Amino acid sequence: MKVGLFIPCYINQLYPQVAIASLELLEKLGVDVYYPQGQTCCGQPLGNSGYEDDSKGICQLFVEHFKTFDYIVGPSGSCIYHVKHHFDILEQTPEVQKVRNNAYELCEFIVKILGKTDLGASFPYKVGLHKSCHGLRGLKLGSCSEVQGEHYSTEEDLLNKVSGLQLMSLNRKDECCGFGGTFAVFEEAISSKMGKDRVQDHLDSEVEVLTGADHSCLMHLEGIVNRNKQPLKVMHIAEILNSTL
């Protein structure tokens, strides 16, 4: 099984530790991982701002870089969602279809494709899980609190198997963090208020480390934590799953 590691542009630029943790984790799990050098962005920022047409070149480039792999795995639910669902703007060649069908968010790949939940990690902290909207409602990584039915969560399945980790229960289990890409720019007041409230829920729930599978949400929340000098550490779930503390 050949896996192409997709590292979203903002992770590449701002959070290389998340990219390294993702790579190390997959290698630890015995996966044959490749990092296509020329890869860039998935096109999401353009598409979400209404410039879908102008993003076709970026999307096509993504396909060129990843078309030879059995799976494409990335540590970001929203980018993966973009590849899977919004690459419908491209001509649906067999290659485009292959890339769309085989793109996986990291946690989902580990649980669904590798069939593993216990990764041998240890992380002795109280952890709060932020469920991103794209991951939850787009990729269906977990059940939504407003929908009737069985509870499930891909990320919780993994975190619950981390030794020493205590997963804390939040008051609002799947409320949006307010980031929303360009929403944070155009609706600054609401965006920061939503983030502030989300951070407060984690603090109220005695969380020490806030985590999630979408680093863009975490970037937003970490910004608020830092600005307000709040006692909360923010880490991507890949960093926790790769940890042997």
Partner 1 sequence: MSHATKATAFNKDEAKVNWHDKALWYVREKRDKSAHKVQGWEHLRQLGSSIKANVLSNLDDYLIQFEANAKKNGIHVHWASNAEEHNTIVNAILEKHNAKKVVKSKSMLTEECHLNPFLEAKGIEVIDTDLGERIVQLAEEPPSHIVLPAIHKTKEEVDVLFQKHLGTKPSQRNPEYLVSEARKHLRDKFIKADVAITGVNFAVADTGGVIVCTNEGNADMGVHLAKAHIACMGIEKIIPQEKHLGVFLRLLARSATGQPITTYSSHFNKPENGKEMHIVIVDNGRTEQLSRPDFRASLHCIRCGACMNTCPIYRRSGGHSYDYTIPGPIGSIFSPGKDLKKLAKNHLAM
Rg over CA atoms, the chain:
17
243 CB neighbour count, 10 Å cutoff? 20
Site residue total, partner 1 (CB under 8 A): 17
Cα dihedral sign, 213-219-223-229: positive
Q: What is the CA angle 94-101-33, rounded to 5?
A: 100
**Only segment of 14-22, 109-117, 121-129, 170-178 that touches partner 1 (CB under 8 A):** 170-178
- Is 148 a binding residue for partner 1 by CB under 8 A? The answer is yes
232, 207 contact by CB (below 8 A): yes
| Closer Cβ to partner 1, 172 or 227, answer by number | 172
**Only segment of 85-93, 118-126, 146-154, 204-212 that touches partner 1 (CB under 8 A):** 146-154
| Closer Cβ to partner 1, 189 or 244, answer by number | 189
DSSP string across 40-75: ---SHHHHHTT-TGGGHHHHHHHHHHHTT-SEEEES
- Is 194 a binding residue for partner 1 by CB under 8 A? The answer is yes
- Is 46 a binding residue for partner 1 by CB under 8 A? The answer is no
Instruction: Tell me how far apart the alpha carbons of residues 214 and 179 are, in angstroms, rounded to a whole number.
Output: 11
| Closer Cβ to partner 1, 74 or 195, answer by number | 195
| Closer Cβ to partner 1, 34 or 186, answer by number | 186
| Closer Cβ to partner 1, 17 or 143, answer by number | 143
- Is 227 a binding residue for partner 1 by CB under 8 A? The answer is no
- Is 147 a binding residue for partner 1 by CB under 8 A? The answer is yes
Phi-psi label, residue 164: left if phi above 0, alpha if psi -120 to 50, beta otherwise: left
Closest distance between partner 1 and the C-beta of residue 189, in Å? Answer: 4
- The DSSP code for 153 is B
**Only segment of 14-22, 101-109, 120-128, 183-191 that touches partner 1 (CB under 8 A):** 183-191
Element (H, E) at 236: strand 233-236
- Is 142 a binding residue for partner 1 by CB under 8 A? The answer is no
- Is 175 a binding residue for partner 1 by CB under 8 A? The answer is yes
Q: What are phi and psi of 160, to 5 degrees?
A: -65, -20
Q: What are phi and psi of 51, to 5 degrees?
A: -110, 40
Q: Which of 189, 229, 231, 244 binds partner 1 (CB under 8 A)?
A: 189
Q: Which of 85, 172, 227, 233 binds partner 1 (CB under 8 A)?
A: 172
Q: Which residues form the interface with partner 1 (CB under 8 A)?
A: 145-149, 172, 175-176, 178, 186-190, 193-194, 197
